[in-house]
């Protein structure tokens, strides 16, 4: 089927099945009902063939390419899909198992993941290891028939709903830091796992801190080889950037109060300065959309985007900040102070009904002043915007990757590569 035809069919399905409501980020920790509805939707999506588009058919996927996946994402952008709680599994954990898992792991996990029956989280970052993930300290010690894990993870998105986690832990502190890591599948319901939601700057709790206290992991849950966790993690991170840039599981732009279509209705376009700012937003949005489409077409033609996905992720992070900043500064005072009144309200700290910015952005009649700012939607957008530039690797890390892996420039000199991990300095310690 050619891409245009694929898109047409996807659009038809979405029109018939996609909800016009808030997505599964919905209530977050406070709204299990939202997650149940999201699971129902995910099952429908899977049964229609739009979940796991690029995954091998053998493991429950559709066996198509990123071109179809991006085509679907492009169509889905016109809707609000409740797929957020599945985004980590679909974008990162699942693809890692496709690439590196054992057949038994793939058979056990991939189909329930794709159908939304089981939710996954990614357990990489720690308080002292974010950009420098390989500095992590969570220990996995070998025991009879498996491993025992002790340590702490942080910023773990959707862990409060997760059934499974993809864990990176240190199995050998006596070798250099990149060499002593191993990747595991961990049961989030196992004894000794404590999940504590962390409130983020939007006021809601979408990420968590996780404590592992003598958690047992069976030997067959090792992903890849023992000691090869860093290479496995690189695979996961590559998928992460591509999936973020490609918008996998990120729901849509519909009703987004900071998107061009909303701003043109609410901003004073008689003012030439406002017009020019909107033109700038149009230029940047189109430029990135076309770049993403080009990457999709190249993939279809057999050119794998690889680290160029990090360029797309960086551009998306910058566009997200630019857009939220622009929308709030165009709106003026009502972007930052509004009357709290009912279902459209998305105020930080409120019960919040979703990632969806709520009502009032459709026709400019929502806010008191006839702008999108009047219901807290813009305040929420500007509070949420930094997430894109931090989660999945910061802008600086993306620039390192683009310069080193796309432009082939040399890395900065490293002092941490050939030293046993236990001799390295960590955050908070006095300089040696």
Partner 1 sequence: MRLVPTPEQRELRDAVCSFLAAASPMPAVRRAMESEPGHDPEVYRRLAGELGLTGLTVPEERGGTGAGHAELAVVLEETGAALLPGPFLATTLAAILLTETGEKEILAGVAAGTTTATVVLDGNRALNGAEADVVLTIDGDRVLARTDGERRALRTLDPTRRQALVEPGGEVAAVSAAGIARARDLFAVAVAAEQLGVLRASLEAIVAYSRIRVAFNRVIGSYQAVKHRLADMHCTLEQAESIVRYAAWAADEAPAELPGAAALAQAYLGRACFEVASGSLLLHGGIGFTWEHDAHLYYKRAKADEVLLGPPRVHRARLADLLEL
Residues that bind partner 1 (CB under 8 A): 264, 269, 275-276, 278-280, 282-283, 286-288, 290-291, 293-294, 297-298, 301, 303, 308, 311-312, 314-315, 396, 398-400, 402-404, 406-413
Q: Is 242 in the site for ligand FAD (CB under 6 A)?
A: no
* Cβ neighbour number for residue 376 with a 10 Å cutoff: 29
Residue 365 site contact among partner 1, ligand FAD, none (CB < 5 to 8 Å, cut-off depends on kind) = none
Assign residue 30 a region (left: φ > 0; alpha: ψ between -120 and 50; beta: otherwise): alpha
* Cβ neighbour number for residue 1 with a 10 Å cutoff: 10
Nearest-10 Cα torsion for 74, 77, 80, 83: 40
Residue span binding ligand FAD (CB under 6 A) among the ranges 116-124, 285-293, 299-307, 322-330: 116-124
The size of the interface with ligand FAD (CB under 6 A), counted in residues, is 20
The pair of three-digit structure tokens given for residue 309, joined into one six-digit string:
């996905």
- Asked if 7 contacts 339 with a C-beta cutoff of 8 angstroms, the reply is no
Minimum CB distance to ligand FAD smaller for 93 or for 327: 93
Per-residue b or e along 69-100, where b marks 16 or more CB atoms closer than 10 Å to that residue's CB: bbbbbbbbbebbbbbbbbbbbbbbbbbbbbeb
Rounded CA gap, 10 and 309, in Å?
A: 24
Alpha-helix residue ranges (DSSP H) falling in 87-227? 87-88, 94-100, 103-114
For residue 143, which phi and psi values (nearest 5 degrees)? Answer: -135, -170
Closest-CB residue for ligand FAD?
130
Place of tokens 């165009």: 330
CB of 296 to partner 1, least distance (A): 9
CB of 424 to ligand FAD, least distance (A): 14
CB of 330 to partner 1, least distance (A): 12
Q: Is 409 in the site for ligand FAD (CB under 6 A)?
A: no
Minimum CB distance to ligand FAD smaller for 262 or for 317: 317
Site mask for ligand FAD (CB under 6 A), range 341-380, x = bound: ----------------------------------------
Q: Is 397 in the site for ligand FAD (CB under 6 A)?
A: yes
Q: Is 390 in the site for ligand FAD (CB under 6 A)?
A: yes
For residue 89, which phi and psi values (nearest 5 degrees)? Answer: -65, -45
Rounded CA gap, 50 and 38, in Å?
A: 15
3-state SS, residue 327: helix
Q: Which of 91, 151, 344, 393 binds ligand FAD (CB under 6 A)?
A: 393
Place of tokens 């035809």: 5
The pair of three-digit structure tokens given for residue 203, joined into one six-digit string:
């006021």
Residue 88 site contact among partner 1, ligand FAD, none (CB < 5 to 8 Å, cut-off depends on kind) = ligand FAD
CB of 278 to ligand FAD, least distance (A): 28
Sign of CA dihedral 241, 247, 249, 253: positive
Strands 193-198 and 207-218: antiparallel
Residue 391 site contact among ligand FAD, partner 1, none (CB < 5 to 8 Å, cut-off depends on kind) = ligand FAD
Minimum CB distance to ligand FAD smaller for 251 or for 360: 251
CB of 291 to partner 1, least distance (A): 4
Minimum CB distance to partner 1 smaller for 80 or for 299: 299
Q: Is 165 in the site for ligand FAD (CB under 6 A)?
A: no
Q: What is the DSSP letter of 416?
A: S
Q: Which of 155, 164, 260, 421 binds ligand FAD (CB under 6 A)?
A: 155
Give the binding site for ligand FAD (CB under 6 A): 88, 121-122, 124-125, 130-132, 155-157, 207, 387, 390-391, 393-394, 396-397, 400
């Amino acid at each position: 089927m050619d891409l245009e035809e694929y898109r047409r069919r996807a659009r038809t399905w979405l029109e018939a099945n996609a909800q016009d409501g808030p997505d599964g980020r919905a209530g977050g920790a406070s709204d299990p009902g939202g997650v149940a509805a999201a699971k129902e939707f995910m099952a429908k999506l899977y049964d229609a063939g739009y979940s796991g588009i690029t995954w091998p058919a053998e493991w429950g996927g559709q066996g198509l390419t990123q071109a179809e996946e991006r085509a679907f994402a492009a169509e889905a952008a016109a809707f609000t899909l409740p797929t957020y709680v599945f985004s980590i599994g679909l974008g990162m954990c699942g693809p890692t198992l496709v690439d590196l898992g054992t057949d038994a792991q793939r058979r056990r996990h991939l189909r329930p993941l794709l159908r939304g029956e089981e939710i996954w989280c990614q357990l990489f970052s720690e308080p002292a290891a974010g950009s420098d993930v390989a500095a992590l300290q969570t220990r996995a010690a070998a025991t009879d028939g498996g491993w025992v894990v002790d340590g702490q993870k942080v910023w773990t998105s959707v862990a409060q709903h997760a059934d499974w986690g993809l864990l990176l832990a240190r199995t050998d502190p006596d070798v250099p830091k990149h060499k002593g890591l191993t990747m595991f599948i961990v049961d989030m319901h196992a004894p000794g796992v404590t999940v504590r939601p962390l409130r983020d700057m939007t006021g809601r709790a979408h990420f968590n801190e996780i404590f592992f206290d003598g958690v047992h992991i069976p030997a067959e849950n090792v992903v890849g080889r023992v000691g090869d966790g860093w290479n496995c993690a690189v695979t996961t991170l590559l998928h992460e950037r591509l999936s973020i840039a490609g918008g996998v599981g990120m729901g849509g732009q519909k009703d987004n109060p900071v998107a061009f279509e909303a701003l043109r209705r609410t901003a004073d376009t008689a003012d030439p300065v406002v017009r020019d700012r909107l033109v700038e937003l149009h230029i940047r949005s189109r430029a990135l959309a076309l770049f993403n489409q080009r990457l999709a077409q190249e993939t279809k033609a057999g050119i794998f985007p690889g680290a160029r996905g990090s360029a797309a992720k960086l551009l998306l992070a910058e566009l997200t900040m630019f857009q939220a900043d622009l929308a709030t500064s165009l709106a003026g005072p009502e972007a930052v102070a509004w009357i709290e009144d009912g279902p459209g309200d998305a105020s930080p700290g409120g019960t919040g009904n979703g990632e969806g910015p709520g009502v009032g952005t459709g026709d400019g009649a929502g806010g008191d002043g006839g702008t999108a700012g009047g219901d807290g939607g813009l305040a929420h957008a500007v509070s949420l915007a930094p997430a894109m530039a931090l989660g999945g690797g910061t802008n600086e890390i993306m620039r390192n990757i683009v310069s080193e892996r796309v432009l082939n420039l040399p890395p900065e000199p490293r002092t941490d590569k050939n030293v046993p991990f236990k001799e390295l300095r960590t955050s908070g310690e006095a300089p040696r």
